[in-house]
Structure 1
Amino acid sequence: MGTIKMTTAQALVTFLNNQYINVDGVEKKFVKGIFAIFGHGNVLGLGQALEQNSGDLIIYQGRNEQGMAHAAIGFAKQSLRRQIIACSSSVGPGAANMLTAAATATTNRIPLLLLPGDIFTTRQPDPVLQQIEQSYDLNVSTNDAFRAVSKYWDRVSRPEQLMTACINALRVLTDPAETGAVTIALPQDVQGEAWNFPDYFFHKRVHRLDRRLPTVVQLEDALMLISRKRNPMIVMGGGVKYSEAGEVLRQFAEHYQIPFAETQAGKGTIASDHPLNVGGVGETGSLAANLLAKQADLVIGIGTRYTDFTTASKWIFQNPDVNFLNVNVSNFDSYKLDGIQLLADAREALIALDARLAAKNYSNDWGNQIEQAQNKLLKEIQRIHQVEYTGEEFIPEIADHLDYNSVFAEFKTLTQSVLTQSRVLGILNNHLPQDAVIVAAAGSLPGDLQRIWRTRDYNSYHVEYGYSCMGYEVNAALGVKLAQPQREVYALVGDGSFMMLHSELITSIQEHTKINVVLFDNMTNGCINNLQMEHGMDSFITEFRFRNSESGKLEGGFIPVDFASIAKGYGCKSYRVTTLEQLLAALDDVQKQTISTLIDIKVLPKTMVHKYCSWWHVGVAQTSKSKRIQAMAEQLNKHVDEARKY
């Protein structure tokens, strides 16, 4: 056994360069590179190590720590969790900025390696710049906040500790059931401390993503349940996509004529035009899926976490005899809704189920109900795509108790636009390249997309809706493009989410990595504005308005923003769109560009797509002076009584 004397940071870089993953016999490097923003907490440790010898790691210069970490999440998600980009920041605010991204990764089960700098272990210079001093515990730093949002957390207080920290970090990052954010805090003095590391720590390591096989007992339980059910429905979650089980699921569904609905993470695994693909299900579900969900007596959830949006707060599956069969690699998720557990890889579980179910000559009683629901869905999508502003008598899809004609008139005067959001989405769906990837995360767009967007190519739908993190869209689009540079990538983002965070748009310019930002500007946090009014409130601090000097309230005129000029200042090719003709011209021109682009589309408020046969449990005041709110509280209590309690 030999040893190699190097600093802790140099040893970390050497270790990361020698990590590989093997999936179904295909081997590739697991760590592609590192996003970094250097400060005093990491520049002379990890920064020095990367400058001296970064090996095969590509170093990306981030602009905001949260933004660069969202780009890393986008990269790992689009890579089906088979490759990652690590992220390093200084101690203090740089580290704290990554907390939101860590939560986003953990919620969505996406591998994200975070390497924040940390305070001195010696304590000699305490309190160091950016250090939080807690009188009850001098070991606490900003990085302790990562404990709540990480799947594995460690602090390397001695060089020797790096070895077990790294090995456990890779254990979690490559585990499909346990993956998420992994945080290794690196005190800045320890980063530069030298130690004689054993050479075997740096040997090539291959992490095998083995497919977990179902047990015979669990298969028998599953078959017994399916055999006595007449109206089964599959809910296809992100686990189907990550295990590349789409083709097997398609064959299974066709064999037994079982309709399959999609979660946000599962959408894009099988094209929308498949006759058994009934679209998104739940609170943001499509008309077809939600109609069938209410009749299903068996829900086969494959690779899904059963979020409240997927189940409409455990309300959408209303058949009194409904049961759940949960196919998942996560034991935690397999226990949800008191389901029968089939703890296995999605692809392997479906293959095993198919072999046994075929012997029983299983069939169901859906008959032509699936086709009827699909026809209703296609007609509804066609109608939604044609919605236009028709003047004073126009009634928006999101109707409420207020007269919105004055708002439309004000918006039209400011922007000269009468475009509706649903019509713009129809144009995009029909005119983007077939293999283009769309990225979205927050606001009204994910709901509209799950309800009416028709996917045409594999892995072309990239929506982060586990954490619904505003500011994910533009930054993650860069990660998607780094993962699949041959595809056009379009970030679909609202004005509120764009203003919150779009830092890595500049990084895309720096890297000559073209992304396209499609910005929907309705001068409102429209999704929450809808939520207010749907539940009896008036519009309250959700529209972007000037303060009224007379009333002192934020009820003045809309605040117009020229997003196209902002993007142009960054170096993007930009477009301001107020008509369908301008939109079509812009969509044609962006495909000819080699630099990142932004299309600033002015869309009327309240012109999103409304819900279909669903309900969502949100907190509503149980006492109020408003009769409308009182009525909504009564309705909420009624639906809670109808929903499953756990």
Structure 2
Amino acid sequence: MMNELRGSEVIVKYLERQKVEYVFTLTGHTIVDLYDALYSPDINLIQVRHEAVAAYMADGYFRVTHKPGVVVTHVGPGLLNAVPAVANAALDSSAMIIISGDAPSIYEGAGAHQEINLLIDLSQHLTYLPFVKRVWQVHHVHNLERILDRAFSLALSNRPGPVLVDIPMEIFSLKTNKHGIYRRLHRLNDLRIRPSPEKINEAINMILRSERPVILAGGGVRLSEAEPELLEFAELLNAPVVTTMGGKGTFPEDHPLALGFAGGWGNPAANKALLEADLVIALGTRFGEVNSSSWIYGYTFDFSKSRLLRIDIDEKEQSKSFPEDLFLLGDIKATLREIIDQLRNLIRKGKVERSPWFNSFKEVYDKYWEDFMSVTAENTPIRPDYIVKVLQMLIKKDENISLVTDVGWPKNGIAQFLRITKPHNYITTAGLAIMGFAPPAALGVKLGNPNLKVISVVGDGGFTSTVTCLFTAKQYEIPVVFLVLNNYSFGTIQNIQRIHYGERYIGTAFYDKYKRLYNPDFVKIAEASGVKGMRIERPSELLDALNEAIKLSEPVVVEVPTALQPDVPVTGHWSISEIYHGKLIYMFDRRENIE
């Protein structure tokens, strides 16, 4: 018979069997017993100053390891503080295990300290229902290990995502002999679902009938670890590859078949190629608004003229937006392997021939990048596109650089202009586009892969949203460079006010009560935190400063006075323009009807 362990010890022993390296957490009275058990030499407890920072770090950790990030929160405000970061992980399909303490169940509904019970007693777990894959509330200590095993399994299966295990306070200290039963190590892509042979044959016939196929690589390629298969598939078909924001980096963008990122802020060549395609082969993409130009035909896609073959692990994606001609439910890597093997046999028999119909778009793609790389800056504040150019210069020399980007120019401008070759070169908040993601997520990326040279590219608004992660960086000596683009505003939204509301800036520029622009001194904030701070005074200093910051192997803040303009070019479409002026444009309307 197994010896009895406290619930907390059961949790820690299970986490050790799952080879969990880090627990990201902020303390509280309901989880103190679990902290006591976490004296484990095999698990590092990372203490943060806000629960959202813990969840962002766990998200970043997953992005480079494909191991679930583990977050431990306290009852009530602890669990609720993590909501935005966990929702972001859900929309970007990051596996995460949230273990939360709850009020003692013996006091259920009586008003225990910090219990949420206004409508339903002991109900904090219900707040996570809209965005996690599953919620469990543990009612008996004997069930604890079984529920944890289900949580790890579900978080990593099919389309990964966060799950919540809600544990009333007494469960941590009650004892059980029901442990050591669940021993299987759960890993992403353990089970690879394949479509039926009939569906594979349908897909191959559709591909063979096409003359101008384009491959659209989404975030599902990254999650499926299907980069080798994507490259082999593209070269086999001699078909161009474009990506979504989540798929950027899954195909080397210096490859002759690469046409870059598509969508509202996409590369013009990618959008043009998709419009000319007679078949779009979509791999693991949700067809979100940004990647689909608000689903208006004529900007990025036109499925009244081209066919859509879609492969995805999530059956809920079927028929959600664009109408598919064929939907294959399956893992991207496994499904591509099936298709490749059969296509290769046909090619040996001389049944596939295709001319490089996309050469003109490749010329557009190359010219667009060359024009971007010719951007100059002589004064401060520095043009944001020049800052992105400097980042391109860094990555060209060192593919080990990981840019973890926040919203605005760091996300959209880098996606549009930069050419990268590895998935870790560009990590962003694609689904929720949440401000403040990049600084703490960069810490998680660095912990997950210490060999990467990690730069958090973030605006001043985003940096101040999660600035407490700077204290965590110093506390644990996590060597991340925080590149802060300071334009004294929530720049993307201020530019919307400039374009659509006659420059009536309210709630976007950081004005004080005398209408003077205000921001804290980021270098002094860094120094007060024990972190090195630099301020760029001239554009010519930026490249050297970033190289120096990387070499220091310690947390560094690099503040760059940044111009509000130019805007990131909208090469596709975003229908907010019409909505601001009282005109609603329905999905699948045509470009010529709204311009």
TM-score after normalising by structure 2? 0.92
Q: What is the letter of the counterpart of residue 641 of structure 1?
A: D
The offset of 1:557, in angstroms, is 2.5
Contact 1:387-1:420 at 8 Å conserved across structures: no
Map 1:110-129 → 2, pairs under 5 A:
110-123=94-107, 126-129=110-113
1:37 to 2:26 alignment: yes
The offset of 1:235, in angstroms, is 0.8
- Matches of 1:205 and 1:593 in 2, distance apart? 37
- Matches of 1:105 and 1:643 in 2, distance apart? 33
1:599 to 2:558 alignment: yes
1:504 to 2:484 alignment: no
1:164 to 2:146 alignment: yes
- Matches of 1:124 and 1:243 in 2, distance apart? 42
The offset of 1:354, in angstroms, is 2.4
Contact 1:528-1:542 at 8 Å conserved across structures: no
Q: Deviations over 1:422-446 (max 9, x none)?
A: 0111012103433200001312321
Q: Deviations over 1:145-193 (max 9, x none)?
A: 112221110111221231331121022122032x211110111122212
Map 1:320-469 → 2, pairs under 5 A:
320-336=304-320, 337-339=322-324, 340-358=326-344, 359=346, 361-364=351-354, 366-367=356-357, 370-388=358-376, 417-432=380-395, 433-469=398-434
Unaligned runs of 5+ in 1: 20-28, 391-415, 550-555, 622-628
Q: What is the letter of the counterpart of residue 428 of structure 1?
A: L
Q: What is the letter of the counterpart of residue 393 of structure 2?
A: N
Q: Deviations over 1:601-629 (max 9, x none)?
A: 001112243121x11233855xxxxxxx6
Residue aligning to 2:43: 57
Q: Deviations over 1:223-257 (max 9, x none)?
A: 23223322211111122122222122112212221
Higher deviation after alignment, 521-530 or 473-482 = 521-530
Contact 1:419-1:578 at 8 Å conserved across structures: no
Residue aligning to 1:133: 117
Higher deviation after alignment, 278-287 or 237-246 = 237-246
Out of 85, 91, 114, the position equivalent to 1:101 is: 85
Residue aligning to 1:14: 13
Residue aligning to 2:158: 176
The 1:48/1:224 distance shift into structure 2, 3 A limit, reads same
Contact 2:575-2:585 at 8 Å conserved across structures: no
- Matches of 2:94 and 2:149 in 1, distance apart? 18
The 1:444/1:598 distance shift into structure 2, 3 A limit, reads same
- Matches of 1:308 and 1:248 in 2, distance apart? 27
The offset of 1:351, in angstroms, is 2.3
Residue aligning to 2:58: 72
- Matches of 2:414 and 2:88 in 1, distance apart? 20
Q: Deviations over 1:173-223 (max 9, x none)?
A: 22032x21111011112221223325434x454557132233211112212
Q: Deviations over 1:281-336 (max 9, x none)?
A: 01121121011122122111111111111111222212632221111222222544
SS in 2 for 1:234: strand
- Matches of 1:485 and 1:504 in 2, distance apart? 18
- Matches of 1:224 and 1:514 in 2, distance apart? 51
The offset of 1:138, in angstroms, is 2.3
SS in 2 for 1:69: helix
The offset of 1:499, in angstroms, is 1.0
Q: What is the letter of the counterpart of residue 347 of structure 1?
A: K
Q: What is the letter of the counterpart of residue 338 of structure 2?
A: A
Contact 2:14-2:180 at 8 Å conserved across structures: no
The offset of 1:643, in angstroms, is 7.4
- Matches of 1:237 and 1:309 in 2, distance apart? 13
Contact 1:478-1:505 at 8 Å conserved across structures: no
Which consecutive aligned stretches of 4+ in structure 1 deviate over 6 angstroms post-superposition?
Answer: none
- Matches of 2:108 and 2:426 in 1, distance apart? 51
- Matches of 2:367 and 2:305 in 1, distance apart? 31
Q: What is the letter of the counterpart of residue 477 of structure 1?
A: A
Q: What is the letter of the counterpart of residue 436 of structure 1?
A: I
- Matches of 2:356 and 2:258 in 1, distance apart? 14
- Matches of 1:240 and 1:357 in 2, distance apart? 20
Q: What is the letter of the counterpart of residue 274 of structure 2?
A: A
Contact 1:153-1:183 at 8 Å conserved across structures: yes
The offset of 1:124, in angstroms, is 7.4
TM-score after normalising by structure 1? 0.85
Aligned pairs, number = 580
SS in 2 for 1:106: helix
Contact 1:78-1:462 at 8 Å conserved across structures: no
- Matches of 2:585 and 2:99 in 1, distance apart? 46
Q: What is the letter of the counterpart of residue 169 of structure 1?
A: A
The 1:637/1:37 distance shift into structure 2, 3 A limit, reads closer
SS in 1 for 2:568: coil
Contact 1:526-1:542 at 8 Å conserved across structures: no
SS in 2 for 1:60: strand
Out of 284, 291, 304, the position equivalent to 2:272 is: 291
Higher deviation after alignment, 477-486 or 456-465 = 456-465
- Matches of 2:46 and 2:542 in 1, distance apart? 33
Residue aligning to 1:273: 254
Contact 2:312-2:330 at 8 Å conserved across structures: yes
The offset of 1:125, in angstroms, is 9.6
Map 1:300-339 → 2, pairs under 5 A:
300-315=281-296, 316-318=300-302, 320-336=304-320, 337-339=322-324
SS in 1 for 2:46: strand
Q: Deviations over 1:55-83 (max 9, x none)?
A: 5222111221100110010000111x2x1
Q: What is the letter of the counterpart of residue 94 of structure 2?
A: I
The offset of 1:639, in angstroms, is 8.0
Out of 519, 522, 528, the position equivalent to 1:563 is: 522
SS in 1 for 2:3: strand
The offset of 1:542, in angstroms, is 4.5
Q: Deviations over 1:329-366 (max 9, x none)?
A: 22222544232122222222222222333416233455
- Matches of 2:448 and 2:513 in 1, distance apart? 47
Contact 1:275-1:371 at 8 Å conserved across structures: no
- Matches of 1:348 and 1:182 in 2, distance apart? 25
The offset of 1:532, in angstroms, is 3.5
- Matches of 1:204 and 1:246 in 2, distance apart? 27
* RMSD of equivalent CA atoms: 2.4
Q: What is the letter of the counterpart of residue 137 of structure 1?
A: I
- Matches of 2:550 and 2:559 in 1, distance apart? 16
- Matches of 1:493 and 1:249 in 2, distance apart? 31
Residue aligning to 2:4: 5
Map 1:455-534 → 2, pairs under 5 A:
455-534=420-499
The offset of 1:486, in angstroms, is 1.1
Q: Deviations over 1:358-402 (max 9, x none)?
A: 4162334552xx332232233223333444568xxxxxxxxxxxx
SS in 2 for 1:17: helix
- Matches of 2:591 and 2:163 in 1, distance apart? 36
Contact 1:384-1:609 at 8 Å conserved across structures: no
